Amino acid sequence: MKRPRPAPAATGDTPVVVAARRTAIGTAGHAFKLVTADRLASAVIAALAGEVACLGEPVDDVVLGNCMGPGGNLARVSALGAGLDRSVPGVTIDRQCGSGLAAILIAGQAVRSGEMNVVIAGGTESASTAPVRAHRGGAPYERAPFAPAGHPDPDMGAAAEALGVERGVARDRQDRYACASHAKAVAAREAGGFDGEIVPVEGRGHDQRPRLLRPASLARLPAAFVPGGAVTAGNSAPNSDGAAAVAVVPERLRAGLPGLRLLAGAVVGCDPALPGWGPVPAVRRLLERTGVSMERIEAVEIVEAFAAQTLAVTDALGLDPLGADGERVCGDGGALALGHPWGASGAVVVTRLFARLVRGGAPPGTLGLATAAVGGGLGVAALFEVV
């Protein structure tokens, strides 16, 4: 029998992430090479719906980010595939690599407005099964434009190279950062640090990619995008498959569940020639709006698309991930080690914050930051607080 759907409150409430899950992440063409984006997402959505069933509230909507999927409304397809009621509509958004985080911000806005009580939000990507795109009657093309004619529209690898050069990020730092990301991820995996967040799909419950690397080995790799450049396959995140999502509810309904209060979010544009810079103005706007200093933030999760881009951003924000802030910034490794499923990565970093702070037992009031750069020149950021 279908449960009646109670009307949301007349006024909104502070949104709280009370559950966060993801699939393992597989390198494109390997672990999940035959698993479509909706199937990856459905597994995560079903797990989250089960976790929040104790609240006695039906899921109002599913918001999913996706970049390169088959089209259509993947969120609706995934919601039905997860067994949710047919009344759950679903909406799919595209902010490229920031899509998963942007979806969570949209869910937070719906809850804060009072229009919805329970929203599952995140992202999904299957680089392995993404369709080949072509204009009608024309040749296939790799990607849609990030910017129109007359504006810079670099590929992300070349853009990361340009940002690294502009901000003085040397090759050896990039390689050392990549090694550190892998080392942290291997240690977390061996300690069971990812077990509480991963929903097994096709029998795989562990990330495929993390492995111990040596700077000397990385130093021998050739430039991947610009002749003579510093950005290589070893210090770049690989194209990947995976999904991640969170459950967002108003604080008045969380029934004592621990979680992450969504304090504020920011989406900012920047120079499309240097899209990797986007997190800097986004985070700065977020901190200015909330009156929070970077020193107060205990955990930072950034989508590590490239070591050059990550270090340029952390340098600008006054963070030292290869020194004093090594455990603070991507403390269990990031996309360089785990992989980069584009539309999902922004939700992966929130799932990691949830694991590090909520499952890790951080005291109430602890602050966490999630951020991502976006092709075309955007930055997305969100500030959370443990409750």
Tell me the average pLDDT of the chain: 95
Task: Give the active site residue among 179, 182, 330, 340.
Answer: 340
What per-residue confidence (pLDDT) applies to 6?
Answer: 44
Cα–chain-centroid distance for residue 103? 10
pLDDT bucket at 3, cuts 50 / 70 / 90 = very low
Here the tokens at position 202 are 């096709």
Per-residue confidence (pLDDT) for residue 12, from 0 to 100: 62
pLDDT band at 243 (very low <50, low <70, confident <90, very high): very high
pLDDT tens for 352-366 read 999 999 999 999 999
Query: What is the reported pLDDT for 8?
Result: 41
206 is catalytic: no
What percent of the chain clears pLDDT 90, i.e. is strictly above it?
Answer: 94
Give the model's pLDDT for residue 137: 87
pLDDT at 112 over 90: yes
Q: What is the mean pLDDT of residues 317-322?
A: 98
Determine the average pLDDT of the residues in 253-279.
Answer: 97
Of 287, 269, 289, which Cα lies nearest the Cα of 278? 269
Q: Taking the domain 156-192+208-234+263-386, which CATH number applies?
A: 3.40.47.10
Tokens 């909406």, residue?
A: 91
Reference 312, options 146, 177, 221, 151; nearest CA is 177
Q: Which of 83, 84, 87, 104 is nearest to 95 (CA)?
A: 104
Give dist(CA 332, CA 154) in Å, integer: 30
pLDDT at 4: 45
What pTM, to 2 d.p., does this model score? 0.96
**How would CATH label the architecture of 15-131+243-253?**
3-Layer(aba) Sandwich (3.40)
pLDDT exceeds 70 at position 293: yes
Q: What pLDDT sits at residue 364?
A: 97
Active-site option among 67, 97, 179, 270: 97
DSSP sequence for 13-79: --EEEEEEEE---EETTSTTTT--HHHHHHHHHHHHHHHHGGGT----EEEEE-SSS-SS-HHHHHH
| Residue whose token pair is 């109430």 | 364
| Residues counted in the chain | 387
d(CA 162, CA 31): 32
Tokens describing residue 346? 């922004």
Where does the chain hold its CATH 3.40.47.10 domain(s)?
Answer: 15-131+243-253, 156-192+208-234+263-386
Question: What local confidence, expressed as pLDDT, does residue 138 receive?
Answer: 86
